[in-house]
Structure 1
Amino acid sequence: MRGNDVIVRTGSKWLSFIIIMFSFFIFMSGHNNPGGGFIGGLMAAGALVLVAVAFGTKVLYRLLPLNYRLVTAAGLLIAVLTGVGSFIFDVPFLTHTFGIYHLPILGETELATATLFDLGVYLTVVGVTMTIILTIGEDV
């Protein structure tokens, strides 16, 4: 029993795009400023839930045909591997490093291993949140 609410559907198209872009910004600035993978992941999951509420879960699965449990597993794997990777350099678990590199289009850019860890957290949070919300939504 889904109504044809034009305002919600039109608004959700724009809002979900804006939320996803801001989520990416929060994710990328997380190792130097407030933000990071957890908050960025929650915002991205919120945007996906907004699409699911406005258009239904079938449309969401057509747009992003993902198994969110696998997204969770991939995020956990990335987070753990960044921690274990520090053992290669004989430093304590989860020790991070950074460097400033010249990239062709971006110029002088700081690359940090904390960003890889945040990517793992981001994917884990999106996967867990979407799995929980979509499972609850299927029961209703």
Structure 2
Amino acid sequence: MRTVIFRFTAPYITSLMVLFSIFVLLRGHNDPGGGFIGGLIAASAFAIYGIACGVDAVRRALYFHPTAIAGSGLMLAVLAGCLSIVFGTQFMTGLWAFPAILGGDVGLSTPMFFDIGVYLVVVGSISAIALALEERDTD
């Protein structure tokens, strides 16, 4: 299904889906959403892009290997949990900081970094599976 219309619109659809996945990721602390759902949306966006433009185009768009993305996300999630041990609380206890950036207070928390780690794990692992299936399909 590599029609001209699909190949033309796939990059725009992918960009909108990745942007929406980041919105869902950041919205997930107070409302439904989070790292897992956002990661699934982003991985499906890359799958659509792979169907339309090929595996090589997706690998160039991701820049890093999908398993490296998943590994870095896992490391970020574990470090977010271990940071609470450094401050003398139980593992996975939420910690918050409010640094002043550009004249406003920005809330940073370990649950947010954990969600970003989950997002990267899901994007990396599902993208690796989808790319492997797509490579196998084209041979």
Question: Shared topology, TM-score over 0.5?
Answer: yes
Q: How many angstroms does 1:97 deviate by?
A: 2.0
Range moving further from structure 2, 39-48 or 59-68? 59-68
What RMSD over aligned residues (CA atoms) do the two structures have, in Å?
Answer: 1.6
1:133 maps to 130
* Matched residues, number: 137
- 1:112 equivalent to 2:91? Answer no
Structure 2 CA distance, aligned partners of 1:112 and 1:132?
31
1:98 maps to 96
Q: Alpha-carbon deviations, 1:52-92, whole Å to 9, x = none? A: 11100111122333211111111111111111111111111
Give the percent of matched residue pairs that are identical in Structure 1 and Structure 2.
36
Structure 1 CA distance, aligned partners of 2:61 and 2:80?
30
Contact between 2:50 and 2:134, CA under 8 Å: does it hold in 1?
A: no
Stretches of structure 2 lacking an aligned partner (at least 5 in a row): none
TM-score for both structures, normalised by structure 2: 0.90
Structure 1 CA distance, aligned partners of 2:90 and 2:123?
28
Q: Alpha-carbon deviations, 1:68-125, whole Å to 9, x = none? A: 11111111111111111111111111001224343116x2332222110011101100
Secondary structure class of the residue paired with 1:38:
helix
Stretches of structure 1 lacking an aligned partner (at least 5 in a row): none
Contact between 2:10 and 2:49, CA under 8 Å: does it hold in 1?
A: yes
TM-score for both structures, normalised by structure 1: 0.89
